[in-house]
Structure formats: structure tokens, C-alpha cells
Homo-oligomer: A and B are copies of this chain.
Amino acid sequence: MNQISLKKTIVLLIILLTTLPVMGQKINVLIWDEQQPTQKPTYENFLGNEIAARLKTNKNNLEIRSVKLDDPEQGLTPENLNWAKVLIWWGHARQGEISSETVKRKLMKRIRTGKLHLIALHSAHWATPFMECMNERTMQDARRLFPQPKGGRTVEFEFVPMPFKGAPMKGSAITPSFLALKRGKDLAKVVTTLPNCCFPSYRPDGKPSTMTVTLPEHPIAKGLPKTFKLSSTEMYNEPFHVPRPDEVIFKEEFSQGEWFRSGMTWKVGKGKVFYFRPGHETYPVFKDPNVIKIIENACHWLGSQKSKY
């Protein structure tokens, strides 16, 4: 083999290896939807199945399963969870039926160890899996931001949960928050208020919003225009009470001047979480090709082992 052809072969190999995740190894995506009757007028076969059908139509390397709250083990059988690499979550009216204990026992270890990654959609800001991920990330943040000093006394960490699931008032303190106190010169105690995972106001008026890509080179934004419109969506208004994200990929602006960090990612242990805001079940958001593209990109990015972004 002469030098030129060696070079060519190497280049070809690199291209092959780079595209392998897309062309080769399948990524298993479990779509979880509570499947409320209120979805029916807009999503004939329910919201989760709509996303499933659209992802299947696209040419990609995603394997899709669609489950619902009323399936055995609430759709979260060991078989499903061992199979899945990415979990897409839609919940709204019946989110209270998924207990924290279920999520802790079934999902958190998988996410923490990077075996499973989560995509939470719109009203899933108050889904138990998303909230538990945000709690976990907040606890990691507390210990990272306020580390145990070497040779010092043991720092006491206290984690204060929300007293109940209630939206914050405009003007409320923003959560999570970390009150870190010294005794003398040394850190002694950190009182962490866990994240509320909600925002002060919303408006289900079905008006359009404008999405702007804030990280154009992020894999989740691949192939998207710099800005695009959603024809009809609910409004959520910042501040969103979540831990500081690793990345903000989309900014969304609404009809009365409100805005939202509408696509964010967090590492939770070795797992990743992507929150995507637009919705909800009475608007055809999940029939929009750009939205499906984002979800598809997110599945690829979360599901790819090579991802080092």
C-alpha cells in the first residue's frame, strides 16, 4: 500500500468510525406517556405514540418503544429499563402516581451510572423522574460548591425539600439555594433548599413562540435554523427553579415578552438529562418537524457513547 492510499484509508476509517454511532449501533428509546384523554383531540393516538411514530418514520438508528402509566409496573418493567438507553418522559395530570420511591429504586441508579439518560418534555418539569434528577444534581452541586476542607471538621449537609408541590410566587427566593455557614474560619454547615422545579407563571393561550438556538454547534441543535416559530404553545415564565444547567441550547420568547431557557442539559452522575419546554398536550407542538428533529437529535446525543461534547 503506498502512502497516499494509506492516508485515504485512514481518512475513510475515521469517517466510518465517526458516523458509526449514527449508522451502526442502534439506540433504544423508551417513550413514556401518561396518556391522558385530554390529549386525544390533538394527538389521536396519544402524545407519546405520536412522537414514536414520527421518530420511526425518520431515517435514523433509533429503536422505539412506547409505554404508558397504566402498563404493568407503570411501564417501568426491568425488561424495558434494561433495554432502554434513553427515556423520553411526558406526564401532566397524573404525575403524582409515580412515587419517589419507584423512581429512586428503578431509575436513579441507572441514570447515575450512565446506563440511562432522560429527556423530560414540558409539563414533566414536575414529573417525579425529572424532580429526582434535579434533586440529585443539586446535592452533587452542594458538595462540589462547598467541599469538605481537608483536615477540618466534618461539614454537615442538610437538604430541605419543598414543603409541597406549589409554584413559586413572583418575587420568591429562587431554588435550589445553598446557605453555607462557617464556625470560625471553617465551613461547618450547608443548608440546601432543594429545587422547586416550577416557575412563577404560565399561560395556556396557544399563542406562537419564537425559539432561538443559543448553542448552534451543539448536537441537539444540528440541522435547525438559527430561529424558528412554534405555531401554538403554552407560555412558561422564568425564573425556572432548577439547578444551574450545564448548557442552555434554546431560548424561547413569548407573545407578551416573557422568555424561558427552553432546552437545557445537566449531568447527573454519569447520566444526562435534557429538558425541552414547548408543549402542551392540546397544541400540536409534537407534530412540528423542528421539535421532532430536536428530540431525535437529543436521543442520538444522549444515546451515543462517543459523545464528548
Which residues of A come within 8 Å of B, CB atoms?
69-74, 95-102, 104-105, 128, 145-146, 162-164, 166-169, 171-173, 175, 177-183, 187-189, 191, 193, 196
Contacts and interface: CB of A to CB of B under 8 A. Distances in A.
A164 B172 CA distance: 24
Given A96-B105, A99-B98, A101-B96, A173 B177 contact: yes
Contacts of A172: 178-181
A95 B104 CA distance: 13
Given A97-B74, A189-B163, A173 B178 contact: yes
Contacts of A178: 171-173
Contact of A166 (B100, B146, B188, B196): B188
Given A98-B99, A102-B96, A191-B163, A169 B180 contact: yes
Instruction: Please state the number of chain copies in the assembly.
Output: 4
A243 to B, nearest CB: 13
A145 to B, nearest CB: 6
17 contacts: A70-B71, A74-B97, A97-B102, A99-B99, A146-B169, A146-B171, A163-B181, A163-B189, A164-B181, A164-B183, A166-B188, A167-B182, A168-B182, A173-B173, A173-B178, A175-B179, A181-B196
A177 B177 contact: yes
Contacts of A96: 99, 101-102, 104-105
A178 to B, nearest CB: 6
A90 to B, nearest CB: 17
A223 to B, nearest CB: 39
A239 to B, nearest CB: 13
